[in-house]
Amino acid sequence: MTAARGLLRHGLTVYAVCYLSFLYVPLFLLPLFSFNDSIFIAFPLSGFTTKWYVQMFQDDAMHRALWNTVKVGVMASLVSTILGLFAARALTRYAMPGRSVVLGFATLPLFIPDIVLGISLLILMTSVGIPLSLVSVALGHVMLCLPFAIAVLLSRFEGFDRSYEEASLDLGENGWMTFWRVTFPLVLPGIVSSLLLTFIVSFDDFLIAFFLSGTEPTLPVYIWAQLRFPFQLPGVLALGAAILLGSCTVVVIAEWIRSWGVKGETHSHIAGI
Amino acid sequence: MSDTFIHIENVIKRFGARAAVNNVTLDIGRGEFFSLLGPSGCGKTTLLRMLGGFAQPDSGRILIDAEDVTTLPPNRRPTNMVFQSYAIFPHLTVGENIGYGLRRQKLETSERDRRVDDALALIRLDGFGARRATELSGGERQRVALARALVMRPKVLLLDEPLGALDKRLREAMQVELRQIQRRLGITFVFVTHDQEEALSMSDRIGVMSGGRILQIAGPKMLYDAPNCREVAEFVGTMNLLPALVTGVSGGNVKVQSPVFGAFETVTAEPERYNAGQKILIALRPEKFEVVRAASSPHAIRGTLTAVSYLGDRHQFQITVENAEKPLLAGTHFDRSMDGAPFRSGEEIYVQWNPNEVVLLPKT
Ligand SMILES: Nc1ncnc2c1ncn2[C@@H]1O[C@H](COP(=O)(O)OP(=O)(O)O)[C@@H](O)[C@H]1O
Ligand SMILES: [Mg+2]
């Protein structure tokens, strides 16, 4: 009995180790080889170098692609978060008859394969006559990001006690000032995490950007193009390592903001009994 | 009640097909402490929210200080509300919470600070201004909600079960304090509660609600001594209720025949509600019964003491009598008779009563 349990526990440990290695070892290989002094991605390592990073910092085309991605990401995250704000507020505030249907349609893009989305948007853009550019990419990304924004903001609004707004009106404020003095600060953590999350989603997207970008590539499209040239590969690794560090930082910040928001929420729940 | 300050006229509010407030007409006087009392779900909050402007009546109208406010939004009414959840803004400090409504008024900063400090002193939380709202205890939150509303100098303060979330001792202390603050400021209070003791101890007058209607409006003593229907009699305090028959009415006197109380005659303020042959209920408070070993009055009922319970400040006896469905309840300060021997469960005793303390209720 105890032996069996011991074996089970042992088995679980092995499973956990395998699982985590499978997830994270590839990620560790990226920074590892980005410091390796060879254009071949193979063991044994040939020596330490930072020249790939230097090369990366000097690559103008890469800079432009990064800048494109940031522009698209900022546009997409701002627009989708603002639209998500309206949607989440309407969905929680008013007892709409078709609430679940609306919610279903709003989050459906999560389940449509990106390639289908990308091709449909390409057809739409060309038939409507919108030229392929960073704007068309951003438009596509708004569609991609909106479900994430709604999901994050909806959870924030659902825990929101209506009597805060009523108290503000009662104390003489009008609807608009009530929004700025009460509603907005209380949902701010949700807005910030929505901005960060949608930015990452946009930053990360390859397929839609691939279909919708014209002559100006975003970073993932640029990286994909570089992979055809073997000598560029270590530079791409350096770039990948830098992106990895950047997104980890963003995720930590987003999580920190979320937990900060949740703390306030718990207090307001105590007040609400 | 002095002069009418709040006038509620035929107000109806429906949610779907059900009327949460069903044709309420009610006048509240200037500077009065008025309570709405009733079981949960009877429409108290809905009525209060219509006074505050958070809901609009489907029909009827509401006047405050002779002004029709029926359709005015909350920010244009001379009322302020202490919410059941308190709704203290969690992202602001205590001082910012209390000063929230003053920001809107064009006040000097120094004048604003002074009024916030005064309000903090009023609720005895001096020096709490810089505290974060999330660091307050339940009782402190309640006070801050009160101060935040009072600092606006409303003509009417609306309070929705403000003491419901507090423990018993704090609640009793706050009952006294609220009453003192109301007296001192002279503001009209409309106070919602489901706790009849709270309503009786604090209010000038009480409106008892049930199923969206007002059953009775009266001062605490009147409500306790002369409930006007069975529901009020049962909801306010403890009451012995027994069936009886009216055998005759002459002037203000009603002749009654009861299987338990026998035949007797009593006075009533509303003799027109009764006529001979009518089935009614008679009601008597437990403390109006006198428990004795030897009957000394013609109005005495023989019974068996079946249970004695000690309630701290008094004793409650359960007495089984003939012809009654339920045992009678009698309350007394002493657990012994005049001869000094304690009453024992199982003992044969008499309960004596006074016909003029019997309350008549129409059977509904
Ligand atoms: N916004 C609402 N929508 C639907 N029904 C409501 C709403 N507010 C209150 N009710 C209903 O109206 C009735 C009275 O509620 P309420 O005024 O809150 O009672 P109380 O405060 O006396 O407990 C209840 O049956 C409640 O379910
Ligand atoms: Mg209520």
Convert the pLDDT of each residue in A112-154 to its tens digit: 888 888 888 889 888 888 887 888 888 889 988 999 999 888 8
Query: Residues A53, A236: contact at Cβ < 8 Å?
Result: no
Domain of residue A94, CATH code: 1.10.3720.10
Percent of chain A predicted with pLDDT > 70:
92
Query: Residues A187, A157: contact at Cβ < 8 Å?
Result: yes
Residue A244 to residue A238: CA distance in whole angstroms: 10
Q: What angle is formed at CA B305 by the lines to CA B300 and CA B306, rounded to 5 degrees?
A: 145
DSSP H helical segments within B60-195, as ranges?
Answer: 94-98, 109-122, 138-150, 168-185
Buried b (16+ CB within 10 A) or exposed e, B127-151: ebbebebbebeebbbbbbbbbbbbb
pLDDT tier for residue A87 given thresholds of 50, 70 and 90: confident
CATH code of the domain made up of B238-362: 2.40.50.140
pLDDT tier for residue B34 given thresholds of 50, 70 and 90: very high
* CA B215 to centroid of chain Cα atoms: 12
**Mean per-residue pLDDT, B134-143:** 90
What is the number of the ligand 1 atom nearest to the C-alpha of B44? 22
- The structural domain count of chain A equals 1
DSSP helix/strand/coil, B15? strand
Which of chain A's residues have a Cβ under 8 Å away from the Cβ of B149? 170-171
Give which of B190, B185, B186, B184 is closest to B203, Cα–Cα. Answer: B190
Residue B104: predicted pLDDT? 82
Percent of chain B predicted with pLDDT > 70:
98
Give per-residue pLDDT as tens, A179-219: 899 988 888 888 988 998 899 889 888 888 888 887 888 88
- CB half-sphere exposure, A272, CA atoms < 13 A: 14
Residue B182 to residue B156: CA distance in whole angstroms: 11
A105 occurs within a structural domain: yes
Residue A273: predicted pLDDT? 30
**Distance from residue B16's CA to the centre of ligand 1 (Å):** 11
Question: Measuring CA to CA, how many Å separate B180 from each of B32, B159, B185?
Answer: 13, 15, 9
Residue B115: predicted pLDDT? 92
More confident: A55 or B264 = B264
**Residue type for A146, please?**
L
A35 occurs within a structural domain: no
Query: Residues B304, B293: contact at Cβ < 8 Å?
Result: no
pTM over 0.90? The answer is no
Domain that holds residue A128: 71-272
A207 occurs within a structural domain: yes
Domain B4-233 has CATH 3.40.50.300: yes
Which of chain B's residues have a Cβ under 8 Å away from the Cβ of A264? 90-91, 134
Candidates B49, B84, B104, partner chain A, best to mutate (most A CBs within 10 A): B104
Residue B60: predicted pLDDT? 95
Residue A260: predicted pLDDT? 65
A24 occurs within a structural domain: no
Residue A222: predicted pLDDT? 87
Domain ranges for chain B: 4-233, 238-362
A96 occurs within a structural domain: yes
Determine, for residues B101 and A273 on separate chains, whether the beta-carbon distance falls below 8 Å.
no
**Minimal CA separation from A259 to chain B, in Å:** 15
If you measure CA to CA, which chain B residue comes closest to A265?
Answer: B90
Ligand nearest to the CA of B40: 1
Which of chain B's residues have a Cβ under 8 Å away from the Cβ of A172? 75, 101, 104-105, 152
Lookup result for tokens 């449509």:
A112
Determine, for residues B165 and A166 on separate chains, whether the beta-carbon distance falls below 8 Å.
no
Q: Phi and psi for B240 in degrees, rounded to 5?
A: -85, 125
Radius of gyration of chain B (CA): 25
Mean pLDDT estimate for chain B: 91
